């Protein structure tokens, strides 16, 4: 039975909680004294160390894109999709090295022995999902935490998707950011469901997280708030699709090669060019009606195609030639 096969994983998870212990007294002391800055510093350290320990323990691989979009200081509201139980671990491992935060989560999490008290201790907010009034009080509690400088993360789907396709986002979740007027940072995650939901047995998996640029929420009209929800939902879902890759590959690392303005006298569009390495075969994911043929050619041949005019697209030329110079500098 699967329940018995998961007993070793449960024991590992509970044993990993000792990673929090060195920070317990400091967090409680800072909270008692109202020293929120010191409290956040210790929460951040605890979250970062615990999540990395758990990811390593299960042999999970985390690939993070867009770390530069996390501000050095909060408060912010992270809004992400929710694929599985491992999301809390993966998001902590991706985000907490840069910024401490708590979760807006179902109240059942607070009832889990040993683990529940830590969810509360890191300044999470627990919601009774079937009680609308209690949910509103929880959002108000979260807003008060934000006013004190604490960041939060919320899953607007309200439940796990248990797979790569996310559910619809609920507008009420966005009040957490729009009422206090703090930035929203959309986050896309893919692959965490493979750690448990796919087979019902806890195991390692590759998880990709994409952190998008902050979205400002100050001074929005009601109509703009409504559009904000739609825009952030689209950003997160587009990010999931991008992580599944249009070219049929996923990458372990992305290195920025260039940032350019294709029409500087006409508009402010910016094109970002990256080198992807550590490629893995995947499944090509295209939008409806989108056509994309993937052509694989040796890099030396691509350089020659630029030089003889076979590749005439400007951004492709820039990317290939700049990478050519970098490879020469690296002795390749």
Query: What residue segments make up the domains of the chain, in order of their start?
Result: 2-244, 255-329
Question: What pLDDT sits at residue 321?
Answer: 96
What CATH number does domain 2-244 carry, 3.40.1130, 1.10.287, 2.30.30, 3.40.190? 3.40.1130
Q: How high is the mean pLDDT in each 10-residue block of the chain (332 residues)? A: 68 83 94 96 95 91 90 94 95 94 91 88 90 87 96 94 91 94 96 91 90 94 92 92 72 77 82 80 71 86 96 93 92 78
Residues comprising the chain, all counted: 332
Question: What pLDDT sits at residue 210?
Answer: 93
Question: What pLDDT sits at residue 273?
Answer: 86
- Residue located via tokens 């020659």: 304
Whole-number Å distance between alpha carbons of 245 and 137: 40
Question: What pLDDT sits at residue 246?
Answer: 64
Question: What pLDDT sits at residue 276?
Answer: 80
> ∠ CA(240), CA(242), CA(298), 5° rounding?
150
Six-digit token pair at 271? 């094109």
Residues forming beta bridges with residue 64, ordered by sequence position: 209
Host H or E run for residue 206: strand 206-211
Return left, alpha or beta for 118; rule: phi > 0 is left, psi -120 to 50 is alpha, else beta. Answer: alpha
Question: What pLDDT sits at residue 272?
Answer: 80
Asked whether the beta carbons of 271 and 260 are under 8 A apart, the reply is yes
Write down the pTM of the prediction.
0.76
Host H or E run for residue 250: strand 249-260
Question: What pLDDT sits at residue 156?
Answer: 94
Question: What pLDDT sits at residue 266?
Answer: 84
Question: Sign of dihedral through CA atoms 138, 228, 96, 249?
Answer: positive
């Amino acid at each position: 039975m699967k329940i018995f096969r998961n007993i070793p994983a449960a024991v590992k998870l509970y044993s990993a909680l000792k990673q929090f212990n060195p920070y317990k007294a400091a967090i409680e002391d800072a909270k008692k004294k109202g020293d929120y800055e010191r409290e956040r510093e210790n929460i951040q350290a605890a979250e970062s160390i615990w999540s990395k320990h758990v990811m390593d323990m299960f042999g999970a691989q985390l690939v993070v894109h867009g770390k530069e979009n996390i501000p050095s200081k909060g408060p912010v509201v992270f809004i992400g999709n929710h694929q599985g139980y491992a999301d809390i671990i993966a998001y902590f491992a991706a985000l907490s090295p840069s910024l401490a935060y708590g979760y807006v989560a179902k109240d059942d999490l607070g009832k889990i022995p040993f683990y529940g008290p830590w969810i509360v201790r890191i300044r999470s907010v627990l919601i009774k999902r079937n009680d609308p009034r209690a949910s509103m009080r929880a959002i108000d509690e979260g807003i008060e935490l934000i006013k004190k400088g604490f960041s939060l993360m919320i899953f607007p789907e309200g439940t796990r998707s248990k797979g790569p396709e996310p559910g619809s986002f609920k507008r009420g979740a966005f009040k957490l950011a729009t009422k206090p007027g703090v930035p929203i940072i959309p986050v896309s995650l893919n692959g965490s469901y493979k750690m448990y939901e796919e087979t019902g047995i806890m195991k390692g998996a590759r998880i990709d997280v994409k952190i998008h640029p902050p979205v400002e929420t100050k001074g929005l009209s009601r109509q703009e708030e409504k559009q904000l929800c739609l825009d952030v939902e689209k950003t997160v879902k587009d990010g999931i699709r991008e992580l599944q890759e249009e070219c049929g590959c996923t990458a372990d690392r992305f290195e920025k090669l260039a940032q350019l303005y294709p029409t500087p006298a006409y508009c402010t569009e910016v094109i970002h060019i990256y080198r992807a390495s550590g490629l893995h075969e995947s499944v090509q994911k295209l939008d409806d009606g989108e056509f994309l043929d993937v052509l694989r050619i040796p890099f030396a041949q691509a350089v020659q195609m630029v030089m003889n005019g076979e590749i005439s697209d400007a951004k492709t030329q820039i990317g290939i030639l700049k990478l050519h110079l970098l490879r020469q500098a690296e002795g390749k």
